[in-house]
Amino acid sequence: MMQAAYKTVKSDGGNMKRANFPINRRNFLLASGAAVVAGGCQLRAEEVEPLQLRSRLTSYAFDRPATRGLVSLLDNAPPPVIRLRQNQPAVIDLTNGLDDYTTMHWHGVRLPNAMDGVPYLTQFPIAKDETFRYAYTPPDAGTYWYHPHCMTMKQMAHGLTGILIVEEPDDVGFDEDLALNLKDFRLDGDGRLLPFFTPKGAARAGTLGNTLTANWRINPRHDVPAGGLVRLRIAVTDTTRLYRLVLPDLSGRIVAWDGHPVNEPVPWPTMETPLWIGPGQRVDIALRMPDGEGAEVSLGTLIGATLRPLASLRSVGKSLKRDLAELRPLPPNPLAEPDLKAAEVRELVFGWTPDGNGQRNGLCGSSEFSFWSIDRKPWPGDAVPNVGPVADLERGKSYVLRLRNESPNMHPIHLHGLVFLPVASNRRRLPRNWTDTILLLKNETVDIALTADNPGDWAFHCHVIEHQKTGLAGYIRVS
Ligand code: C2O
Ligand code: CU
Ligand code: CU
C-alpha cells in the first residue's frame, strides 16, 4: 500500500510538531510550503506530485516597522523547511516570481549535476515567470539547505535561504525535530534593508548584518516536551557571519555535522570553547530537555566577548523521562571512503586577487570588484567562455585536495555534489567528519580527501558570498 506522508510548515519558521501532520494533500500544497515525502514504498519520479515553489518579494516585520523587499517562497514568512525522504524521488518546480533571474541550489545534496542549480555551469538562469523542474533522489539523510545561485547575494541577503531535511527511512527516536535557520538581516531603524554588499566588507571578512534571527525571528522560543529528546538542526545560512555557537549546559551531544552522522565526537560548545560554524554549515544536536515544566534553555553566539541569544527551548508538559542513552547512532549514509594511499594530491590556493582589478559581466549578480582568487585566478564571472576547472578529477579515483589559505580571513570553502573528509591541518586537529563545507582558518592549510564518484562540473567556492562574488569561486570537474 502506498501511503504519502506529506509534511508541511508553519509561518513561524517552518517547523512543525510531529503529532499533527496535515493529511490533506490539497491543503498542504495550497499552503505551498510542503515537500514531497513518500513513506512505505519506493515511488518513481513520475508518481510523485511535484512540490510547487514560487520565489517572490514579500514583507515581514522583525522588531520594527515591516521590512519590504524581502525574498521568500511564502508571503510574509520565511522560506519553508522542505522535508524529503532518503532514497525517495523528489520533484520540485521552482517558478521565478522575481524580476531578476534566479536558480535554486540544494546545498550538500549529492545529486545529478544537471539538478545542481548553478547558472551556466549546470543550467540556464530561470527568467521571470519561468519554471524549472528539479528532480532528484537524495541518497543521504540529514540536514541540508537551499538557496539561489544566481543573484545569490541579493536574494539570499534578503531572505531566500531555507532548510532542507532528508529524513531517514526509519524513525530515529526523537520526540521533537526542530530546525533553526540562522541568518542576519541588515536593517535600518525603520526596517528598511541596508546595502548587503560593501567593497570594504567584500575585501575583508564580509558585510555583517545587524539583526540576528532564527527562522526570521529574533530570539524565538519554542515549546518542546519536558524531559524529551530534541533533534535540533542548526543551519547557518547567513551570507557572511561565522557563528561561535554556545549551547546550554545540559545533557546532549552533536550527532551530525554538515548533514552526515559524526564519525568522531565534536566537543560540546561552551562559552570557553564555542563551536565555530560558518556560512553553509549545519550541525544536528541531540538535546535532553529538563524535566521541570517551564524550564528554559537557550543557545547563543559569541560576538566578541558577548553572548547574544539566538533561540530558546522551553519544557512543556509532564516529563517524558527520556534518556540520551536511548538514542541509537544515526544510520550512516552510503559514502565512499577515499583510498588515502592511492590518492593523488592537488593543491589549491585561496588568497587575494593578484592584480586587484576585474570587470565582470554582472550576470547573475557577479560584482565588478575583484578581491579574491583561487590559484591566483579570480573567477571571471558566470557565462564567461573558456573558463576551465580549478581541478580535473577522474571519476572513481581518490584525491587529496590541499586547501591553502594565504589570507588573514577565514573562508568556509564549499564543494558541490561531493562530500569529503578533512584529514590534516597545519593548525589543529580536525575531527574526521564528512562535510561539504570546511572552514579554513587564517593561514591554515587543510587536506581534504574525497572519492570523485559523482560526475559533473561542481561549483567550488567560499560561502561568504561577498568573497564568492568577488573572485573566490571556481569549479571542479569530475569526468
Ligand atoms: Cu550553498 Cu554553491 O552553495
Ligand atoms: Cu552547495
Ligand atoms: Cu571567503
Tens of pLDDT along the chain (479 residues) come to: 233 333 434 334 445 333 322 323 333 333 333 444 434 456 677 778 999 999 999 999 999 999 999 999 999 999 999 999 999 999 999 999 999 999 999 999 999 999 999 999 999 999 999 999 999 999 999 999 999 999 999 999 999 999 999 999 999 999 999 999 999 999 999 999 999 999 999 999 999 999 999 999 999 999 999 999 999 999 999 999 999 999 988 889 999 999 999 999 999 999 999 999 999 999 999 999 999 999 999 999 999 999 999 999 999 999 999 999 999 999 999 999 999 999 999 999 999 887 666 667 788 988 888 899 999 999 988 888 889 999 999 999 999 999 999 999 999 999 999 999 999 999 999 999 999 999 999 999 999 999 999 999 999 999 999 999 999 999 999 99
Q: What is the largest CA-CA distance in the chain?
A: 65
Q: Using CA atoms in the order 433, 438, 444, 446, what is the torsion angle rounded to 10 degrees?
A: 50
User: What does the domain layout of the chain look like in residue ranges?
Assistant: 7-149, 176-326, 344-478
Cα–Cα distances (Å) from 458 to 25, 122, 374, 437, 451, in that order, read 35, 9, 15, 13, 14
Q: 279 with 461: CB under 8 angstroms?
A: no
Report residues whose beta carbon is within 6 angstroms of any ligand 1 atom: 105, 107, 147, 149, 280, 414, 416, 459, 461, 463
Q: Give me 25's grid cell.
A: 494533500
**Of the bound ligands, which one is closest to the alpha carbon of residue 203?**
3
For residue 145, give the ligand 1 atom closest to its CA: 1
Report the DSSP beta bridge partners of residue 7: 35
pLDDT at 384: 86
| Residue 269 alpha carbon to ligand 1 centre in Å | 26
- The confidence score (pLDDT) of residue 365 equals 84
Give dist(CA 454, CA 456) in Å, integer. 7
Instruction: Give the C-alpha separation, 331 to 232, whole Å.
Output: 17
What are the Cα distances from residue 147, in Å, to 158, 160, 261, 428, 466? Answer: 11, 6, 23, 31, 15
Report the atom number in ligand 1 closest to the C-alpha of 459: 2
Residue 461 Cα, ligand 2 centroid: separation in angstroms? 9
Cα–Cα distance measured from residue 411 to residue 270, given in angstroms and rounded to the nearest whole number: 23
> What number does the ligand 1 atom closest to the CA of 437 have?
1
The architecture (CATH level 2) of 176-326 comes to Sandwich (2.60)
Contacts of 275 (CB under 8 A, 6+ apart): 243, 244, 245, 246, 247, 266, 267, 269, 283
Distance between CA atoms of residues 256 and 271, nearest Å: 21
Minimum CA distance residue for ligand 1 atom 3: 107
Grid cell in block for residue 304: 566578541
Fold classification of 7-149 (topology level): Immunoglobulin-like (2.60.40)
Q: Which CATH number fits domain 344-478: 3.30.60.50, 2.30.290.10, 3.40.640.10, 2.60.40.420?
A: 2.60.40.420
Residue 466 buriedness (CB in 10 A; 0-12 / 13-18 / 19+): buried
Q: Which listed ligand is nearest to 411 at the C-alpha? A: 3
**What residues contact residue 439 under an 8 Å CB cut-off, 6+ apart?**
242, 276, 277, 278, 281, 410, 411, 412, 413
* Rounded alpha-carbon distances, angstroms, from residue 5 to 18, 24, 39, 438: 11, 10, 6, 34
- Minimal-distance CA residue to ligand 1 atom 1: 107
The pLDDT of residue 353 is 86
Which-ligand-closest: CA of 416?
2
| Short-list 63, 84, 64, 81, CA closest to 72 | 81
User: What's the pTM value of the predicted model, to 2 decimals?
Assistant: 0.92
Locate cell 589549491: which residue?
A: 348
* Amino acid identity, position 338: P
Å from CA of 319 to ligand 1 middle = 40
Q: Please give the Cα distance from 130 to 96 (Å, whole number).
A: 6
By DSSP bridging, strand 82-85 and strand 162-167 are: parallel
Grid cell for residue 309: 541569544
pLDDT at 395: 98
Instruction: Work out which ligand 1 atom sits closest to the CA atom of 468.
Output: 2
Q: Which residues pair with 185 in a beta bridge?
A: 211
User: What is the pLDDT, as a whole number, of residue 37?
Assistant: 42
Please, which residues have CB within 8 angstroms of residue 46's CB and are 6 or more apart in sequence? none
- Looking from the CA of residue 147, the nearest atom of ligand 1 is 1
Ligand in nearest proximity to the CA of 364: 1
Distance (Å, whole) CA 344 – CA 339 = 10
Atom of ligand 1 nearest to the CA of 416: 2
Residue 11 Cα, ligand 1 centroid: separation in angstroms?
Answer: 25
CA of 277 to the centre of ligand 3 (A): 13
Distance separating alpha carbons of residues 88 and 347, to the nearest angstrom? 37
Domains 7-149 and 176-326 share a fold: yes
Query: CB neighbours of 54 closer than 8 A, spacing ≥ 6?
Result: 32, 73, 94, 95, 96, 97
Q: Read off the C-alpha cell for 373.
A: 582568487
Kindly report the protein residue whose alpha carbon is nearest to atom 2 of ligand 1: 459
User: From the CA of 330, how far away is ligand 1's center (Å)?
Assistant: 25
DSSP 123: B
